[in-house]
Amino acid sequence: MPTIERAAPVEVPRGLKGVIVTETTLGDVRGDQGFYHYREFSAVELAETRTFEDVWHLMVHGRLPDAVERAAFAAATAALRHLPADVRAALPAVARAGAASGPLAGLRTALSLLGASSGFRPLYDLDPAQRRDDALAACAAVPTLITALYRLGQGLEPVEPRDDLGHAANYLYMLTGQEPDADRARAVEQYLISTVDHGFNASTFTSRVIASTGADLAACLVGALGALSGPLHGGAPSRALDTLDAIGTPERIDGWLREHILAGDRIMGFGHPVYTTEDPRSRMLKGIARGFGGDLVDFAVRVEERAEAVLAELKPGRNLHINVEFFAGVVMELCGLPREMFTPTFAAARVVGWSANVLEQAEDSKIIRPAARYVGPAPAVPVPAA
C-alpha cells in the first residue's frame, strides 16, 4: 500500500488565540488598551448612560434609537416576553428532569422547544427581516424561560412577565415575584449591558459556526449556551464568590492566595485571555458595588488588592488582573440573585450579542469549515485481518 503524504503543516496558536476568522461590524475588544465597544460606542459608557433596550436596538438595527424608536422597540420586545402555551406547559417537566443541573441546562432544552414551537426555520431559507424577528422573539423569551425554570425548581409557580417594566426590572420581578427597587434594577441592567457582547469568545464563535451551516436561530443559541455553560467561560461569577467564602476573613487572604497559586490552582475572577490590563467591565462593576457598600464589598476590594499583588510577585510578567466575573458576582449577590442564577443571568444578556452575530453570519453563505493537523501514526496502515 503506498504511503500517503501528510499535508504541509500550518502553525496555528493554541486555542486559535489571535487568529482572525472573519470581519465584523458589531464590536471589538482591545485587550492591551482595556477597552471594548459595541458598534463604535464604548460598551462601558453605554452601560452608564443607556437602557438595555437601547443597546439591544443598537446591536440588532445598527444604531441607537431616538425617543420614538425607543418606545416602539421597548413595547414590541415586551410583548414577546410571553411564552407560547405549549412551551409554558412543558416547563415543569423540563425543570424536574434537570433538577440536579439547574436552570441553565434546562434553558437549552426550553430554548430548543421554543424554536420548534414558534416555527423557526433555517436561516438559509429566511430573508433578513424574518431572521431578525426570530432573534427578537428568542431574546425576549430567554429571561422568562430562565426565571420560570428557576422558580419551578424551587417549588414555586412561574411569574408572568409585565409589559410595563424595563428589561432588567422585569427580569428581577419574574425571579422574585416582587417589583425591584430602582437601584438594584439599574445595577443589574448595567451588568447586563456590559456583557451583551465581547468579541469572538467561545460561545459567540460557536453561535457563528452553527449559523454558517444555515441552521435555525434556536439551534445557534442552544449551541452557544452549551459553550457558555463551561466553568472557564460563563461559570465563573459564582466561583469567584466561592473564593471569597473560602478565604473567609481578611487575615487569611495572603496565606490562602499563596497556597493556591503555588499549587497551580486557578484563582477564579482573575486573569483574562484578551486583557493584559484591567478589565473595563470589572472597573465599572466595582464602582456599582461600592455604591451599595457593606462588608462584602470591603472584603472583595481587599482580596482584589492582595490577589493582584501576590499574583504579580509569584507570576511576574503575566499581567493578571481581575476580570468581569469578580465584581459581577458581588453585584449580583447584593441585588439578591441566587448564585445558581449568575450564569443564566449572563446568558440573558449575551443572547442578544449571540443573536446579532448570528444575523451577521447569516449574510455570508460560506460555511465555517477549518482543518485539523493530523499528528497520529503515518497513514496508511494495512487493516489487520479480523
**Residues with catalytic roles:** 272, 325
Query: Which neighbouring-strand residues pair with 41?
Result: 38
- Cell numbers representing residue 37 in the block: 465597544
HSE at residue 310, side-chain half, CA atoms within 13 A, is: 19
- Cell numbers representing residue 156 in the block: 414555586
Nearest Cα to Cα of residue 161 among 81, 80, 76, 73: 81
Residues 6+ apart with CB under 8 A from 240: 268, 269, 325, 326, 328, 329
> Count H helices, E strands: the chain?
16, 3
Distance of alpha carbon 384 from the chain centroid: 49
- Cell numbers representing residue 14 in the block: 493554541
Residues 6+ apart with CB under 8 A from 51: 70, 74, 166, 167, 189
Q: In this structure, is the dihedral angle defined by the CA atoms of residues 60, 86, 208 and 352, taken in order, positive or negative?
A: positive
HSE at residue 229, side-chain half, CA atoms within 13 A, is: 14
Q: Using CA atoms, how far apart are residues 331 and 308, in angstroms rounded to an integer?
A: 20
Nearest Cα to Cα of residue 217 among 294, 301, 295, 140: 140
- Residue 208: exposed, middle, or buried by beta-carbon count in 10 A (0-12, 13-18, 19+)? buried
Q: Using CA atoms, how far apart are residues 213 and 194, in angstroms rounded to an integer?
A: 29
Q: Using CA atoms, how far apart are residues 138 and 291, in angstroms rounded to an integer?
A: 33
48 to 9, 42, 113: CA distances (angstroms): 47, 10, 35
Q: Using CA atoms, how far apart are residues 57 and 241, in angstroms rounded to an integer?
A: 32
Q: Using CA atoms, how far apart are residues 180 and 252, in angstroms rounded to an integer?
A: 35
